[in-house]
Amino acid sequence: QQPVQSPQAVILREGEDAVINCSSSKALYSVHWYRQKHGEAPVFLMILLKGGEQKGHEKISASFNEKKQQSSLYLTASQLSYSGTYFCGTDAGGTSYGKLTFGQGTILTVHP
């Protein structure tokens, strides 16, 4: 069962912050985040593993709440280059170990 992302779309001005959420109905082993710009390949952002730490680099970070079965992606002081569609992929482990199921995506648009 696919994770649910919220919001579906968000519009920001440069320098503003955004949070994208990814919720699953199943217990999760890991959560993966990707960004895809129009006409381009999805690009890896980060992986969060069960029992792992919150991750981030520069102004993009993410958290993984195992109990709530959800992950959040934090974009601070957004830049024009952050525009694109953000996908979370979840791995429920067990018999589904290693099999990523992706959410429907969140479209992020950053304006000058």
Partner 1 sequence: ETGVTQTPRHLVMGMTNKKSLKCEQHLGHNAMYWYKQSAKKPLELMFVYNFKEQTENNSVPSRFSPECPNSSHLFLHLHTLQPEDSALYLCASSQDQPVNTEAFFGQGTRLTVV
Q: What minimum distance in Å lies between the beta carbon of 15 and partner 1?
A: 29
Which residue is associated with the tokens 């995506």? 105
- Choose between 104 and 109: whose C-beta lies nearer to partner 1: 104
With H, G, I as helix, E, B as strand and everything else as coil, classify residue 95.
helix
Q: Between β-strands 106-111 and 30-36, what pairing exists: parallel, antiparallel or unpaired?
A: unpaired
Residue of 8, 10, 5 lying closest to 75 (CA atoms): 10
CB 46 within 8 A of CB 56: yes
- Choose between 41 and 112: whose C-beta lies nearer to partner 1: 41
Q: What minimum distance in Å lies between the beta carbon of 42 and partner 1?
A: 5
- Choose between 7 and 15: whose C-beta lies nearer to partner 1: 7
User: What is the C-alpha separation between 94 and 46, in angstroms, rounded?
Assistant: 22
- Choose between 10 and 88: whose C-beta lies nearer to partner 1: 88
Q: What minimum distance in Å lies between the beta carbon of 6 and partner 1?
A: 14
Q: What minimum distance in Å lies between the beta carbon of 2 and partner 1?
A: 5
Binding residues vs partner 1 (CB under 8 A): 2, 30, 32, 34, 39-44, 47, 49, 87, 89, 91, 97-105
With H, G, I as helix, E, B as strand and everything else as coil, classify residue 21.
strand
